[in-house]
Chain A
């Protein structure tokens, strides 16, 4: 079954240039696509291949390559196969085309990627913030954003010296590892 779909898919994507096909798991097919070819491929998959369900768009940050990887997971209710189309776009300026006109659910995922990674999708119906409306820091899901540092700069930790603990400590007991010593990052910060 899988090989049939593999062959069929290979035939289908032969019509689009710049597509590599790999299938490793049951009912999962991976396509590596050139960024320019993706809208045409998705249109083909939806129109001829019955892949009508856009399950998700995932974004992966690869700072060492200076790239964002966008993964479009589409599912066919008839072929019962999930195709993941991978593209890589440069991290700067981080712009890509919206696929909203092919798949409506893309609006949510593109909006989400925009606020979490700062990738701008041209043609998406709304690029305004949804979750992080009251956040003015950098896009938090980028690898260079260190949330632990941000937390240490903006929040205080509860201090623990309740009276009942003093009693226990005077009798030789107490907390073995205090919470502030467990937070390695804080410890390193204090030492430096």
Chain B
């Protein structure tokens, strides 16, 4: 399917509208991008072993906060989804749910070799091998595991990309939703669906493109179920007394 080089990096240095060649025409866009790149909240979701190098990176010794990056506990307020290490299929479902709940613009960083190509666990039946099949990855930090310096270096690269306006892969998720959904369905089964209306969001952001819909999104309609309240049964029906 895709390789990294196939993901179109959407270049949006917004074309300067011809306003008589005014050099200040883009000053607000630049300013917004600058501000955005200086205050990044990183979702605190420890998905794999790479998470063990994040506490050192966050705390006194390496101190990520000095480049404006802080952990955030809820996906809705977070900008960066940090996938730290191998993702088992069970976790991958949660990661996709989490990713879709995050507000745009959002960025995905894959840390550790396992997110790139499966790493040590390439033979394992339980872990996903290539994260960019399922989510638009902005940046990979390779290593098993990358040192805190490497993590910080990667985050700085992301910051610079955001400032330069070259880190826009989240748009790719809307523009080619069918492709990502197809890969997800291949792994999770044809009835896979998430509670987020990605297609409606794509229209909302003005990113609805020819590849947003396709054969895989049509399957969503076939399997659409009304959302039901979460039902949990605890040990051997002890709580069945409720009326």
Contact = CB atoms under 8 A, between A and B. Distances in A.
Are A and B close enough to touch in the complex, i.e. CB under 8 Å? yes
Interface string B80-98: 0000000001100100000
A160 to B, nearest CB: 8
Nearest to A134: B90
Contact of B186 (A140, A147, A154): A154
B1 to A, nearest CB: 5
Contacts of A125: 235-236
Interface residues of B, number: 25
Contacts of A155: 118, 128-130, 187
Contact of A148 (B4, B90, B123, B126): B123
B125 A157 contact: no
B129 A150 contact: no
Given A134-B90, A135-B89, A151-B123, A157 B236 contact: no
A64 interface: no
Interface string A101-142: 000000000000000000000000110000001111100100
Contacts of B89: 134-135
Contact of B124 (A136, A147, A179): A147
Contacts of B187: 154-155
B123 A162 contact: no
A183 interface: yes
A159 interface: yes
Contacts of B236: 125-126
Contacts of B124: 147, 151
Please name the 5 residue pairs, one residue from A and one from B, whose CB atoms are nearest each other, closest first.
A159-B3, A158-B117, A155-B129, A147-B125, A150-B125
Interface of A: 125-126, 133-137, 140, 145, 147-148, 150-151, 154-159, 161-163, 179, 183
Given A126-B235, A151-B118, A151-B124, 14 more contacts: A135-B126, A140-B126, A147-B123, A147-B125, A148-B123, A151-B129, A155-B129, A155-B187, A157-B117, A157-B118, A158-B3, A158-B116, A158-B130, A159-B3
16 contacts: A134-B90, A134-B188, A136-B189, A140-B125, A155-B118, A155-B129, A156-B1, A156-B129, A157-B118, A157-B130, A158-B3, A158-B129, A158-B130, A161-B3, A163-B5, A179-B117
